[in-house]
Each structure stands twice: as structure tokens, then as C-alpha cells.
Chains A and B, each alone.
Chain A
């Protein structure tokens, strides 16, 4: 019997038919993190970059993970040649800066073009300033837009955000990585209501997810809450209000700490704590799909609140934004 060519992390493995990728790698002393070795714990997640993926190796993964070629090494028994990489593997791609402008609140709108990048709304990419310095940014646009829209907040000591804000200009070529993350809409969510909560540029992935859901014909309610100190900190307000008047099942309700400012140009709520507001305004999160993007503390708090009040763990999608 002819042997099947199996590559993991650019290393050819002496693969024996019938065994798993994990077994072949372990025999070759190539480490793949693992725990249950039974397709349950998902510790041995890997990414197939070329070749056919046996369905069994994707059991239990999310729609977004399946679409991106993720598989479980302990269940992956290829019967044709296959190229596999560690789960966090990224290709380096080139992108050209198309637009570089500021939103009303000072957040940078950076629009890139790249023929090579494939993504799902809600995912993020890395941008490399140098070979050592890289930061992740979420994508606000849909693949159908053919352009990659990123929202970048300038952080006081942020080397990359300062560089992107002050030095990068239209026409420049940037190095970006493959799209990652699974804070994404899936067709299996069509019967559920969607709750999206975020702060700051957490709006970027959330707006991508909302547009994706609406475009795919999501009929159930979609609620977006963005928390901010005051109305001047919000951005894309008019675009969100316009979206709301087109789609009656979509509602945008900002939650402001200081509500004396009426420039939010539409309904908003006043609350000191975004997490308490969410907890008190929703009696149960059963049959809700929840998306949380923004400050890590808030994301963790809301994750717990939603879960303890009825949301299933598999229906909570969180993307904590760690600012450096």
C-alpha cells in the first residue's frame, strides 16, 4: 500500500494508514498539545491548509472553525495527502492601504486591500510593524466588500497604534496575517435572538457580525449595546441608525455613563455599569446567541452573567480586546 504524504508544521511525518495525525506526530517527537485524545477536549486543534479533511475530525467544532479548515489531530486520519499546521499558524500576506481617515471620536479607519486574505465577518488579523512587533485588529467589513476595514484606537503607549495613526499612509504596503477567531455568525443561529455588547473598537467585529447576519436573512431580534462614557465617544452612530431603519429586527441602543449630552442623535440609556444594565434588562438569555467584544474585564463579567442566566456556553462568543 502506498504511503500517504502527511505534513505537520512543515515536517513530513512517517504516517501509517489508520493512525491519527496526533499518533504519527507523537511517534516523530513533534509536539501537538493534547489531553483527552478522544475528540472531546479540543486541546489538539490543528489547521489543515491543504488536502481533504475527514468529517469525523471536525466533530464538535463550530461552523466558523469547520469553514476555516480546523480539525482535531487525535481524530484526523487522512486518506489522501494533507498539509497541516498548528492551530495558531498564520501566513504572512501583503495588503495595500486604501483609506486612512479618522472617525468623529478619533478612532482610525484603516481600509486595506489584499487579494490573498480570506475571512469571515467578525474575525481578526495581525498587522506586523516589524518581524517582532505585531498586534491583532478585528475586521469590520464583509468578505463581499472585498476591502478590509479596521478600526484602530490610539493607545497612549501603543507602538503599533501610534505608527498606524501617524506614519502609515494610503498606498503603503503592510504585512498582515491570516484571519483568525471564531466570534462569527453561523447559519445554526438563525432561530436565536442575537445580543451584541461591546466597548470602544469592539464595535468593529460586532458591526461585521450584524451585517453578516442581516445579509444572510436573520429574522429574529438583533440587539446591539455599545457602552461609552458619553455620546462623543461613540462612532458610526448614523450608519447604525440607518441600518436600524432598514431592518426592523435590528436595534442599536448605546449605554452612556454621562447622559446629559444629547448628541447621541437617537435613543440611548443611561447606566453607570454596562454589565449591570445588561443583567437587569434581560430576564433570561436562553435562546440567545451572545457576542461580547471589548474591555477584557467587562467581557469576562458579561460572559458569566449571560451563562448564569441561561445562555448555553456554546452560544457565548467572546473576544476580549487586550490593549498594550
Chain B
């Protein structure tokens, strides 16, 4: 079965998704403060890796990477992870992805929750 990554159209689709996703994240008051003063170019590359991972594309991004990326971010909790997953779902809906696929992506994103929250 083709992965969502392939169905969406590969790397070019991830570029489009990063634009939409990152815009939503920056506009979301629940989490936007974590992105203040962050180098946007470097951040976009990280988001691209993250989206490729949750879309089931070629990647070796691991829980360890997610743990390292979020280490030192003060006050991070489940609400923040929920907000990210919500924005992810809205991004996919905007790209015309069906509910079943969105649920699958959310499940993958959820699988690194403990790493993100350093539990």
C-alpha cells in the first residue's frame, strides 16, 4: 500500500504542507511563543523532517531526535502536543486528505508524545 507521503506527491508536497502547517503553528496562541526568535529557515527544515516522518515518507527521524529537539523547552505539556496534532490535521484537511489518513498521521504524531514531553 502506498504511504500517505507517496499519495500526497512526495517531497514537493511536503514543502507545500510545511508552509501551511508552520503558518498555522505561528498563528496559534497556545504554542506560537515557543517559536519566537527561532531561525525560520532551520525550523522549516526540522518541520519538513517531522512531516515526512508522520506522512510515512523516507526518514530515519527517531524518538531520540524528537526528545533532543524539544529538550529545554520550558512548560511543555500535553495541551501543546494536542495543539500541534490539531494543526497537523487542519493542514492535511486543507490539502484534501481524507479522515482515515488524517487519523493515521495523528496516531504516528502521537507515538512520539512521550519523547517530546521528555517522559
Contact = CB atoms under 8 A, between A and B. Distances in A.
A36 B26 contact: no
Interface string B1-38: 00000000001001100110011001100000000010
B79 interface: no
Contact of B59 (A38, A300, A304, A308): A38
A111 to B, nearest CB: 31
B64 to A, nearest CB: 11
Given A36-B52, A38-B59, A41-B46, A300 B26 contact: no
Nearest to A314: B15
Nearest to B11: A60
A307 interface: yes
A116 B14 CA distance: 39
A304 B19 CA distance: 12
Given A308-B26, A313-B18, A313-B19, A37 B60 contact: yes
A41 B60 CA distance: 11
A254 to B, nearest CB: 26
Contact of A304 (B40, B49, B58): B40
Given A35-B65, A60-B11, A307-B23, A40 B18 contact: no
Given A60-B11, A308-B27, A313-B18, A39 B40 contact: no
Contacts of A42: 45
B40 A40 contact: no
Contacts of B40: 300, 303-304, 307, 313, 316, 318
Contacts of A308: 23, 26-27
A303 to B, nearest CB: 5
Interface residues of B, number: 25
Contacts of B26: 304, 307-308
Contact of B41 (A35, A43, A312, A318): A318
Interface string A164-200: 0000000000000000000000000000000000000
A203 to B, nearest CB: 22
Contacts of B45: 41-43
A36 B40 CA distance: 18
B21 to A, nearest CB: 11
B37 A38 contact: no
A35 B49 contact: yes
A59 interface: yes
B19 A59 contact: no
A35 B61 contact: yes
A25 B7 CA distance: 34
Given A38-B57, A39-B11, 20 more contacts: A35-B46, A35-B65, A36-B49, A36-B53, A38-B59, A38-B60, A40-B49, A40-B52, A41-B45, A41-B46, A41-B48, A41-B49, A60-B11, A300-B40, A304-B26, A307-B19, A307-B23, A313-B22, A316-B40, A318-B40
Would you list the 5 A-B pairs with minimal beta carbon distance, nearest first? A41-B49, A38-B58, A37-B60, A36-B49, A38-B59
Interface of A: 35-43, 59-60, 300, 303-304, 307-308, 312-314, 316, 318
